[in-house]
Amino acid sequence: MAENTVENKKLIETIVWRCPSNIAIVKYWGKKENQLPCNSSLSMTLSKAFTEIELTLQEKKAADEIELDFFFEGKKNVQFQERVKKYLSAQAKDFSFLKEFAVSINSHNSFPHSAGIASSASAFGAIALSICDVLRTLRKQTINEDFFRKASELARLGSGSACRSMYGDFVLWGKNNAIANSSDEFAIPVTDIHENFKNFHDAILIVEKEPKKVSSSVGHSLMNNHPFAENRFLQADKRVERLKNVLSSGDLSEFIHIAESEALTLHAMMMTSEDYYLLMKSGTLIAIEKIIEFRKETKIPVCFTLDAGPNVHVLYPGSEKNKVELFLNNMIGNSVKEIIFDQIGDGPQKIR
């Protein structure tokens, strides 16, 4: 490993990874111990929405406790630092260098905070990739399939959906009896994608910028004694199987049906849990209705999906980009504050 001197400390290694966020089409909602999912899920990897992590290891005296300095957008972020420190401590038995060196992480997002883009997916994805990359460098191994599988497993332990950010295009996570090689531990790329889905777009309509009132972890835990949980988990597994077939057959209307029903089902689960809550806003419903109306009028295969928040993800093929974006830009006003235009992406990238 390269050794440079920085401010009287020895800089052992700096590694930089860029990891994209992803938007689930079939949703993961409900988990078991160790962030193992209650059902399989399938997502599309984004391109412009990413986190870039610069991980630096410096010499320190005692190798007992994790020493972490965490900076977000150049500023110390104590809240996320504590979450990441806990995460790194849990991984230290497999990655002993985390205790042997002082760890410093600089994190930068390409997208605004609380915009309805899963920042924990891209952040934990990039952290996991960086940690795996240090170990890979120490062991003089190459970046291969095993590397991404290990990174996916490690990312999952930070944030479940992060494990799907390890690959480009469409990605599947969770054991599904109908799909070979699927696993609860890590995600796998979905191969055999029809032309119709190869240049898919995701425009995120920002309805509200406030951080969400109920965290995803609380939401997941409410599935534990949810009256509809078992049926929901079975439904999701069936939909993953169907969606996988749709992605290879190119059936856009079936895709739309699955995507929209999944979005509404996710929110229905929140609304019907014992401690019910509502994340949609009036602007969410206005946008959804306009999208459905526009589709009916124009026959353009455009649809919506939702994450655990009020902002609306609009999905459409690249071939319809101009017409859809003209329509969406006209929605900016009272309910839609801003739009982030993104599209399907290639997956993570090592920068340095």
**What would the x/- binding string for ligand PMV be over residues 248 to 287, using CB under 6 A?**
------------------x---------------------
Strands 101-109 and 67-72: parallel
The reply on whether position 165 binds ligand PMV by CB under 6 A is no
Nearer to ligand PMV, 118 or 127 (CB): 118
In angstroms, the CA 46 to CA 317 distance is 14
Q: CB nearer to ligand PMV: give 56 or 159.
A: 159
Q: What's the burial of 293, exposed, middle or buried (CB within 10 Å: 0-12/13-18/19+)?
A: exposed
Touching ligand PMV, residues 95-154 (CB under 6 A): 118, 120
Least distance between ligand PMV and beta carbon 137 (Å) = 28
* Residue 281 CB, nearest approach to ligand PMV (Å): 16
45 sits near ligand PMV (criterion: CB under 6 A): no
Nearer to ligand PMV, 171 or 256 (CB): 171
CB of 248 to ligand PMV, least distance (A): 21
**What is the distance between the alpha carbons of residues 229 and 272, in angstroms, rounded to a whole number?**
10
Stretch that binds ligand PMV, among 20-28, 244-252, 254-262, 331-339 (CB under 6 A): 20-28
Which region among 2-10, 57-65, 157-165, 338-346 touches ligand PMV (by CB under 6 A)?
157-165
Q: Between residue 306 and residue 325, which ones bind ligand PMV under the rule CB under 6 A? A: 307-308
> Where does this chain touch ligand PMV (CB under 6 A) — which range of 26-34, 237-245, 268-276, 332-340?
26-34
Min dist. Cβ of residue 144 to ligand PMV (A)? 26
160 or 317: CB nearest ligand PMV: 160
Does the protein bind ligand PMV through residue 20 (CB under 6 A)? no
Binding site for ligand PMV (CB under 6 A): 24, 27-29, 41, 118, 120, 159-161, 216, 266, 307-308
